[in-house]
Amino acid sequence: MTKTLTAIATALTMLAAHSAFAADKTAKTSMPTASTCQSLETQYQNAAKTHAKAEKFKESQTAYSEGKMLCAEGKFAEGTAKLHTALNDLGVKAMNKAH
């Protein structure tokens, strides 16, 4: 009986720890917000000044415009995806900023 109770207690402890870890991981991967969009827009504007000769510069401008528009419409996930594409087209990796 004691072994059974110990096994149950151990299983419950492990389950609780796993749930806490999963909740913590979810909190760290929150959805993009308006501030995420603003950060990426600023990063693009700065990068465009020094990467004007990038092979995909025109494509980056299009992606930037689309991303900015989507963010303005409140479609932050789609907008940030386009802004990441714009930065990638310039050959620049986006700096992660808090949402």
**pLDDT tens readout for residues 21-66:** 455 554 556 899 999 999 999 999 999 999 999 999 999 999 999 9
Tokens of 11: 């299983």
CA dihedral sign, ordered 34, 36, 39, 42: negative
How far apart CA 26 and CA 22 sit, in angstroms, is 6
% of residues, the chain, pLDDT over 90: 65
Does residue 8 sit in the same domain as residue 48? no
In a domain, 99, yes or no: no
Whether residue 40 is contained in a domain is answered as yes
What pTM does this model have? 0.69
Runs of H (alpha helix) within the chain: 2-28, 34-50, 57-72, 76-89
Write out the two tokens for 31. Answer: 């959805």
18 and 41 fall within a common domain: no
Q: Are residues 22 and 1 in the same domain?
A: yes
Q: How far apart are CA 53 and CA 74, in angstroms?
A: 31
